[in-house]
Structure 1
Amino acid sequence: MHETDRISKRYTEGVRQFINMARGHANRVDRIKCPCRKCKNRVYHHIDAVETHLILNRFDLDYTEWIFHGEEHPFFKHVQAEHNDDNSQAEDIDEVGEMLDDIYRGTFPDANIGESSTSLGPSNNDHKARPFDQLWEDAQRELYPGCKKFSKLSFSMKLLHIKTLCNWSDKSFDLVIDLIKQALLDGESLPKSYYKAKQFRRDLGFSYELIHVCKKVCTLFWKEHAYKDECPKCHISRWKKDNGKGKKIPWKVLRYFPIKPMLQRLFMSKDVAKDMRWHNDERLEDGDYLRHPADSIVWKEFDKKHAWFAADSHNVWFSKRWLQSIW
């Protein structure tokens, strides 16, 4: 056999070994980062497409530790940070891809609580959650042809973040989107309006409940008061405006983030989940220093009293001050 053919055969076998290892670490839609010389772990592809890329384009020479595909490395976080710095051009797309990967691996039934209103009419966010595959497509779809910095999903999420930080009105958000769409190249994929963009937020599980509040803040129109049209205490109408056509506007609205899905989201990320168990898995107990609330007498007494609860490091201890901070 010719030497070139022998090297080519050995390389093909190496690619197959890599694919077999990476297949066990692929997400449920069989997508992994592609480590070929063109993609350089910047883009997620179906695992079969990655195999083709590696045959045609060869491995990225700088990718010597396969840390994104199942190979363990003692300095994983450090290497990953360097990798992200080297590929900063695709940083936003990578962040969204990793977030989707964590969300899909940690999917739970009641994650999408839905932005439900307590009004008698339909919710102002009554669209149906889209399939997860659609989110993946939006995360890989370029903002415009040739754009490698942002995907449709990553750019939309950044715009939504800016809207929240700067307190943009819905109307101003629509105007900004319209202007950006005119400035981008033909074939852009930006959502047409705030209504369309905010669907990403719900599909990703960042949702909340809308609860109407009395004008004088003496009652929440919730639970037993959910269908009342006036406050049971001050008897002021629940509605600031009622045109008689079903369009009712409440005086005040509370955005409530339920605790259960909030805690579940903490365990959706493998890195955050590790930090959530640090007090049990990695904390040093020398008895001389108070480095963590778990070193306190109160925590230890609680563990003794509720040993069944303390036995599972995934359980979360609440402090009264923390509960007050989120309410």
Structure 2
Amino acid sequence: MNQQVIDQWAPELRRTLVGALAADGSITDAAWRAAFAAAPRHLFVPRFYQNTSEGSAQIDVSAGDQWLRTVYSDTHLVTKDDVTSSSTAPSLMATMLEALDLSGDETVLEVGTGIGYNAALLSERLGDTQVVSIGIDPQSVDDARRHLATAGYHPLLIDYGEADRFSGIRRTDDSTCEGESTSYDDACYYTVEKLTTETDHGIVSRGWIDAAHSKSLSKPTPLTPGQWTTVTVPLRAQDEVIPKGRILGLAVTLSDTEWTSPNDTGATIDIDLAGSKLNLPATSGKLTAPTKPQPIDVDITTPTHRPDLHDQKN
């Protein structure tokens, strides 16, 4: 069964499953009906195992119609041959999710990521930034993260924490003087006070890309509508101490209203999150200057020089 056939039949099979769950009373909330109709269970169950007279048999996409129809049936599916992972029957999942009695503005912590399908349903219901899911098996968590990314859900990208963060400076009435004064400079300067505000999030860095100058700031190279293009957005260099356990989030917007005054053109963009990558130069532990920081084991890229934006070759 090729991807085109799956994309064609999966939505109809989801609608049929949701209709059956609604008919037997498993789903009574319209918001959960919409979530089950949207979340692609087949992405989280690329294979499952069934008992046969000859033992356990693996059923995957190569089984075609049998695999896809079973995935979108009200069936509990074992997803590992050692029976340590499974996908709960949708009717039971719907009953448990409706029991949460969500209004839509909550943040949910899911303990036990499993295959990721439940996190996908919660993300459809609440928005993926409102869902945090944790698991104990690294391989299962990695698989779930990959399936969630393929489906367009990223519930682990953002985690906000209360902290005092820099919000600006204020001039005080005190001044300090350094050196000799002259007729035009008294060598005295007002001191400033650092201001902080307790917030639930803070911006570490930011970057921009001009869609009309996607490759150069000196030569117009606009993005082509309807065509996928790979672009690189450099972030401003910033020294920041990230507390242990904090998760960094990446927000992508069409304009930066804090620094610019954009005109609404009605333009939209699609971003392939599963094919995107964020590279951060980082160090960990205590550093004693002038010791050279040792990078932690992450995928990073570091520019070797600052480009001349006035150079026509850039």
Q: TM-score range by the shorter chain?
A: under 0.3
Q: Relative contact order: is structure 1 or structure 2 higher (C-alpha 8 Å, sep ≥ 6)?
A: 1
- Structure having the larger proportion of residues in helix: 1
TM-score normalised by L of structure 2: 0.26
TM-score normalised by L of structure 1: 0.25
- Structure having the larger proportion of residues in strand: 2
